Amino acid sequence: MKSVASISVEILGCGHYIYPFCVINIKFFKSTGNFYAFPANFSNIYYSVIFHKLKILLLSDISSEHTQKWALGLASKGIEIAIFSLNHSVYDWFTGVENIQIAFQAEEQLDGKSFFEKLNYISVLNKVKKAIKEIEPDIVHAHYASSYGMLGALSKFHPFIVSVWGADVFDFPRQSAFHKKIFSYNLKKADLICSTSFIMKEETKKYTSKEIKVTPFGVDTEVFKPFKTPSLFPENAVVVGLVKSLEAKYGIEILIKAFARAKELLPGTDLRLLIVGKGSLENKLKELAEDLNISNAVIFAGKTPHEEVPRFLNMMDIFVSVSVDDSESFGVSAVEACSCAKAVIVSEVGGLKEVIINNKTGLFVPVLNVDETAAAMVRFAENPALRNEFGLRARQHVLENYNWKENLELMVTIYSELLVKD
């Protein structure tokens, strides 16, 4: 508990006031009654000032690296975080972490890809309400507007924040008029809407007239930085790489085909490909590498803990992210690569266009274009000085715009302003 004597509070009336990372409840009442802390006389009216840590209930996928990053970052600020998840964590990243508790995680993932599967979410609504009653959060924050947003909206708790993530705004409301209605309802019930990118903000504005705050999902530039690391490849190899889930929307088939083409164009260069991640297309992508006769130059490293990602990025010379649709809402993996001072190639979709400056911090290539992607690889592979030049500019751009510590401060400020408004 904060020392009352060290805090100066202007008494404005009953309500919530914010002191960094704690909530001050100010209540006025007659001279009779019990005091919780620091009672004082104010013109025959007594007031009490009650301090507690700011409590946030995150409705979010516990297995998502994005959820983990927000939870760990906010907890490090002294904010109490509780997580309610429709999925189960594949590994224990939270036990023993101060200020983090798990309110609920499903034993098996509750899918919601179809309308009828979405009804599964309703079955856990009482669990959400129970968690709210037990935890007594100051704010409920739903990360993903369609599923967790619906649970938050139906809980009727306020203040309530919805953060849009990508497919929830680019895909879900386009499925049918009913999906659109659900999505719009969830936004309507929110006291505040957040988006990690401006392009996603513009898409969300099609469904609401409310203010939307942009909260970039930056990187810890003290962790994601250039450093020497033992490589999986020969010292003279030029390594092209990617860190992504192996799913269709990320265009990894285009990456592999472009790599094969670039390898043909550079017979004197030991060009290698490193793919970090797992997903439903893993076997198909391995078969593609076999068919193109490049499997001896490709390593599929599988899924890795997020703390290992900087090590893999620093094995790469060129990072390529050629996603195929706008649901690539921010492009955090590209930002992480930039922070490691890598030469970056991205497709002109979604948030990738927002985080990379073409011909300055990276190169744009048209969507689904194998030839142009291969040509960009060749350009960087042939010129180490050019790679270094782009990489240095890319890291500086991240330092100035996507510093995770500053992004965390922004989110804390948003929480504080919302409680004061409330």
Question: In the prediction, which pLDDT does 52 show?
Answer: 64
- The residue among 370, 375, 338, 377 whose CA lies nearest residue 354 is 338
- The residue among 70, 82, 87, 21 whose CA lies nearest residue 218 is 70
Question: In the prediction, which pLDDT does 21 show?
Answer: 54
* The domains spanning 55-218+405-421 and 238-401 adopt the same CATH topology: yes
- Structure-block tokens of residue 414: 């948003």
Query: The sheet that has 80-85: what strands, in order across it?
Result: 100-105, 80-85, 55-59, 139-143, 160-164, 192-195, 212-214
Q: Beta strands 45-53 and 22-29: pairing type?
A: antiparallel
Question: In the prediction, which pLDDT does 12 show?
Answer: 38
Q: Where are the domains of the chain?
A: 4-53, 55-218+405-421, 238-401
Grouping H, G, I as helix, E, B as strand and the rest as coil, residue 110 is: coil
Query: Is 238-401 a domain of CATH 3.20.20.140?
Result: no
- The residue among 54, 52, 51, 58 whose CA lies nearest residue 21 is 54
SS3 content of the chain, % helix, strand, coil (to 5): 40, 20, 40
Mean pLDDT by 10 residues, the chain (422 residues): 34 43 46 35 43 88 91 95 93 92 84 56 87 97 96 97 94 94 97 93 96 93 97 97 95 98 97 97 98 98 92 98 82 95 95 93 97 98 98 97 93 93 72
Helix or strand (DSSP H, E) at 291: helix 282-291
Written in H, E and C, the secondary structure of 334-385 is: HHHHHHCCCEEEEECCCCHHHHCCECCCEEEECCCCHHHHHHHHHHHHCCHH
Query: Is 55-218+405-421 a domain of CATH 3.10.20.740?
Result: no
Single pTM value for the model: 0.78
- Torsion over CA of 217, 218, 223 and 227, rounded to 10 degrees? 120
**Is the C-alpha dihedral spanning 200, 105, 147, 419 positive or negative?**
negative
82 Rama sector, left if φ>0, alpha if ψ -120 to 50, beta otherwise: beta
Question: In the prediction, which pLDDT does 131 show?
Answer: 97
